[in-house]
A and B are shown apart, each in its own frame.
Chain A
Amino acid sequence: MGAFFAAPGMLAFAGLAFLPIIIHLLNRQRYKRVRWAAMEFLLTAYKKTYKRLRLENLLLLILRTAAVLLAALALAQPHSAGGETGFLKDPVSALLLVDDSMSMGARVGGVTRMDLGKAQLKKLVERLPGRSRITLDLASRPAEPLLTDASPEEALELLAGLKPSDLPCDLVPALGQAAALLRKAVLTRREMAVLTDLQASSWTSRGTTLDPELAALVKEKVPVRILDVGEGQAENAALLGLRVVSKVPVAGRPIKVEGRLRNFGTGARQDLEVQLLVDGVARDRQVLPRLDAQSEATVALFATLPEPGPYALELKLSEDALPLDDHRWLGLRARAGMEVLVVDGDPKPSPEDCEGYFLSPALAPKETRASIRVTERSILRFGPQEDLRAYDAVFLLNVSALTPEMAERMGAYVKEGGHLVVSLGSNTVAGEWNERCFQEGKGFLPVKVGEVRGPSDPAEERFATLQVADPNHLAAASLKASRTVGAINIRRFLACEPLAAPDVRVPWRFRVKDQPEDLPAVVERPYGAGRVLVVATALDKEWGDLPSSLTGEYLALVRDLLYAAVQGAQGLEVAVGRPVSLDLGGEHAGAALRVVAPDETTERVAPEPPKEGGNRLSVTTAPLVKAGPYRLAKGNPEEVLERFAANPAAQESDLARITPEALKAALPDLPLEILDASAKETKGAGGREFWRPLLTAVAIILALESLLAWRFGRT
């Protein structure tokens, strides 16, 4: 690197070195006149001191000129470009690892940490010896260096455009990967510099064990310098979550969303405004009067989605030092309503004896009729003519068995995204269900149906009760805290053996008196793009007292079953840096699909072909590296097929730092030199700076000049 001065423009001030000479000459032009009588003595004095005066004047002039020259030199910030070996000596292979995590975008005093760090790196690069090579690597993607063994000029150009990413970083693993790159560098003299804000989560999230490559680098005594740009208090409050509380977002009806926010700062925040935007238009706002330091709060907001279709929801918080986490996005599809088909497997002449007598009103009470529409069908009329795709969910109640054809159609329906709830009962023919629908685990039914379990004495009323087995499951969402649901008596049920698969979940179990183990009551499993729930007992009064419970448990359970079946119809979001998989209808086959990112850049995506037995397509995007709302679209004018979002990792919002001492203690095997950004002198691969000794020399010269001027009688 040719640059010997960090600020060569300042060398122009060296021209001021002529100033003392000019002042001297000007002083000789500007004088007083005195008619003097005692001239003989003055001339005697002059002759006597002439040579000494000239010498003194010369000495003072030299000192003054030297002071100006050295001051100009100090302003130009000279440095030894060759570090230990000096300027014009051994070039160096320098690896610059930049922590480009979201926290580097935090502003302190109006400047982002990244900008502060770029200035530091620029200085460092400029001070490298000539012919040095630079590898520039980002901590968010350490395996993909931006530059490898490039010239400092190229590095400077690239550095200028560097911005913090929205991704989280793990610095210790990144150091390992950077070390591997540096060990492959072309030059034998190597150095590594890491630009970071020392955010605690970036340094300790994945442990502090040194990568073997890094350990090898340490053995080779390659210096690792940390340029710390994280000093200074950056108060930060962040939105950590956005979820849709309403189970079924229906167009034209208000939906409720909930935002979770946290104050990571050290002081309380007042009057925090949270806004809800739908497709960029503000719909609701809440003001949180106070949020204490290190505490969380939840705010609820409402919006109505006018038409069925995909929407981008955004929560926006009053902006602070770190703006990115003051937003949270979500893609949400509003339904026109939910169509549910209820198939009665044991139709009776009397309505109250029908299987759906209790279920249908529970699914669609009067006040929700607009959002959930129930169609009841007798098993006798449930046949091939039925268009299952017209329904979001199908309830099969006490159906003895499906014909092979219907079983196949039902499997295809679920695979393509349909939702099925099977309630077993007295009519159930276990063998046929197992043969046609379970198919030894290959079918859509997630359980192998067994025999009927009930009391040995038919007169005995009390046999089993329902117990929540998985409180996190949607099927238990409403009743997981209920104290009364366990009192509802279940007289009969079918013993079911859930499929041994990792995606099979059992949210409810039967607790049978004197039995050591609870038995599965509700079993759920995704199948294809859809989902199947099996309830191992009847949902009418034949086998239990569920419908007759007066406290609403039945209604809650039935609605939870429905929502558990259609889950996934809720908001669509991922953590930034992860891909998204979307299901599409078969009608989009062959269409040119594109993903439009928050910055309106587009990327073409190819839909994967339908899986066996179905016609639905799926699309998997590339990792979403920008936080914000995305959309899957096709055609021109654009038709938006789906909206989804990528949100920043919550740990990035916590700007708490690991102290240099703690970092050194956490990485005892890594000899780190930690330099803070406020240090005027940035050491680096380039070597030492000289401005400080130069300024000291200027001060000494000026002091000497004053002393001599006084001694020579020039004051």
Chain B
Amino acid sequence: MPETARHKLLDPKTLNKLSRLELKARSIVEGFISGLHRSPYHGFSVEFAEHREYVAGDDLRYIDWKVFGRSDRFYIKQYEEETNYRCHLLLDTSESMAYGPGGVSKFEYGSMVAAALAYLISKQQDAVGLALFRENLVKQVPPGSSHQHLLQILHELEHAKPDGKTKLGAVLHEVAEKITRKGIVVVLTDAFDDIENVLDGLQHLRHRRHEVVLFHLLDHDELTFPFRDMTRFEGLEALPELLASPQSLKKAYLEALQDFQAKLRKGCRDYNVDYRLLDTSEPLDVALTTYLTARSAVRARSGTVRG
């Protein structure tokens, strides 16, 4: 697939035009996969289960040459699911996630990332669960690997609305306490909470031996603060408003944001949390790549080498 077409497939604005989240998720994953040299679907199980027809990107090592000899067609050998893996997707649905004047809000972007990940994980026969949170967990779908389970996750994502305040730190503690079986915890949030609380929560998760990936979702405006004219900034999540000349505040604002990011990044590094900043104006494949990298790391640590 040409590079431009792939980019278009992963462009958040383009994807946002698709009506169903399932469709979005599939487009993201297919677009993402088409750019990979190796199929992300193969080699995660050990017991042979069935054959499936070869698709572009599949590792040639898994072609069943015997079947080819008999039928003159390429088939890939598939194996039984290894259900050791569980991925928990935590999506922030607080009001601050609703920001997105350019077209795609952080929440929408986060939803698409979550859906795509769920789709990908489900396709890999791993179990994926979903938790939506604000000040605490508001909706939870326990991990599962069936297609029905995937559809339930997508349904929840599709019907969620950003609202209310956030307490990310508390939520992370709550999640750490609830999830007993170790797995990958993917947090999709703008992390607008007290930095110490957030880092404590992340540390708690790591303490529970979870692999943690923090997708820090920020709008392009939040990263660049492009305003010029006199503006009344109305705070989301019940924060006060401020009338100011943006030009005069820009430098100090960006300093404050970068300071926050630096602290968050440092904390993540200290606690071995995979931190990834996601600019909502950028394509979505970054999130998937990050996830796959994290998963590979987990497998490497657990001693299971596949493919």
Contact = CB atoms under 8 A, between A and B. Distances in A.
B177 interface: no
A35 B234 contact: yes
Contacts, number: 106
Which range holds the interface residue count of chain A?
Answer: 20 to 34
A52 to B, nearest CB: 9
B230 A30 contact: yes
B248 A37 contact: no
Contact of A32 (B192, B222, B230): B230
Contacts of B237: 37, 39
A713 B95 CA distance: 30
Contacts of A33: 231-232, 234
Contacts of A42: 233, 242, 244, 249, 253, 256
A600 interface: no
Contact of B239 (A27, A34, A39): A39
A45 B253 contact: yes
A31 B230 contact: yes
Given A40-B192, A715-B247, 7 more contacts: A37-B97, A42-B244, A42-B249, A46-B242, A46-B244, A48-B256, A714-B245
Nearest to B193: A40
Contact of B256 (A31, A41, A53): A41
A48 B219 CA distance: 23
A713 B260 contact: no
Interface in B223-269: 227, 229-237, 239-240, 242-245, 247-253, 255-257, 260
Contacts of B232: 31-34
A38 B222 contact: yes
A37 B234 contact: no
A699 B247 CA distance: 25
Contacts of A49: 248-249, 252
Interface of A: 27-28, 30-46, 48-49, 53, 56, 712-715
Given A31-B229, A42-B233, A712 B248 contact: yes
Contacts of B108: none
Given A40-B192, A43-B242, A44-B256, A34 B227 contact: yes
A33 B235 CA distance: 11
Which of A30, A38, A46, A48: most chain B CB closer than 10 A?
Answer: A38
B149 to A, nearest CB: 32
A43 B248 contact: no
B65 interface: no
A712 to B, nearest CB: 6
A33 B244 CA distance: 11
A48 to B, nearest CB: 5
A49 B247 CA distance: 12
Which of B97, B239, B249: most chain A CB closer than 10 A?
Answer: B249
Interface in B162-176: none
A62 B98 CA distance: 41
B99 interface: yes
B86 interface: no
Nearest to B253: A45
B106 interface: yes
Contacts of A715: 247
Nearest to B94: A37
Contacts of B260: 41
B96 interface: yes
B101 interface: yes
Contacts of B255: 45
Contact of A37 (B231, B236, B242, B244): B236
Contacts of A35: 98-99, 234, 236
Contacts of A31: 229-232, 243
A713 B257 contact: no
B126 interface: no
Given A32-B231, A34-B233, A40 B239 contact: yes
Contact of A45 (B190, B227, B239, B252): B252
A70 B232 CA distance: 34
Contact of A43 (B99, B229, B240): B240
B176 to A, nearest CB: 24
Contacts of B243: 28, 31
Given A27-B230, A45-B255, A37 B249 contact: no
A38 B233 CA distance: 10
A48 B252 contact: yes
Contacts of A713: 247-248, 250-251
B181 to A, nearest CB: 34
B196 to A, nearest CB: 14
Given A39-B236, A56-B248, A713-B247, A34 B101 contact: yes
16 contacts: A31-B243, A32-B227, A36-B99, A36-B233, A37-B106, A37-B222, A38-B96, A38-B218, A39-B233, A42-B244, A43-B235, A45-B249, A45-B251, A45-B252, A45-B255, A714-B245
B227 A38 contact: no
Nearest to B238: A39
Which of B239, B247, B252: most chain A CB closer than 10 A?
Answer: B252
Contact of A34 (B97, B234, B245): B234
3 closest cross-chain pairs (CB), A and B = A45-B252, A39-B235, A37-B99
A32 B236 contact: no
Contacts of A41: 253, 256-257, 260
Interface in B181-232: 190, 192, 218-219, 222, 227, 229-232
Contacts of B230: 27-28, 30-32
A47 to B, nearest CB: 9
B247 to A, nearest CB: 4
Given A34-B233, A35-B99, A35-B234, A714 B248 contact: yes
A148 B97 CA distance: 89
Contacts of A27: 230
Which of B219, B237, B256: most chain A CB closer than 10 A?
Answer: B256
Contacts of B219: 37
Contacts of A56: 248
A53 B230 CA distance: 14
Nearest to B99: A37
Contacts of B242: 39, 42-43, 46
Nearest to A44: B256
Nearest to B96: A37
Contacts of B231: 31-34
Contacts of B99: 35-38
Nearest to B260: A41
Which of B190, B227, B233: most chain A CB closer than 10 A?
Answer: B233
A43 B256 CA distance: 10
A43 B235 CA distance: 10
Contacts of B257: 38, 41
Contacts of B235: 36, 39, 43
A40 B218 CA distance: 14
Nearest to B106: A37
A30 B245 CA distance: 11
A51 to B, nearest CB: 12
A31 B99 CA distance: 19
A89 B233 CA distance: 60
Nearest to B229: A32
A53 B243 CA distance: 13
Contacts of A44: 252-253, 256
A40 B230 CA distance: 19
Nearest to B251: A713
A34 B230 CA distance: 11
Nearest to A713: B247
Which of B97, B239, B260: most chain A CB closer than 10 A?
Answer: B239
A382 B240 CA distance: 135
B227 to A, nearest CB: 7
Given A41-B260, A44-B256, A45-B252, A36 B247 contact: no
A30 B229 CA distance: 9
A49 B236 CA distance: 22
A27 to B, nearest CB: 5
Nearest to B244: A46
Nearest to A32: B231
A43 B237 CA distance: 14
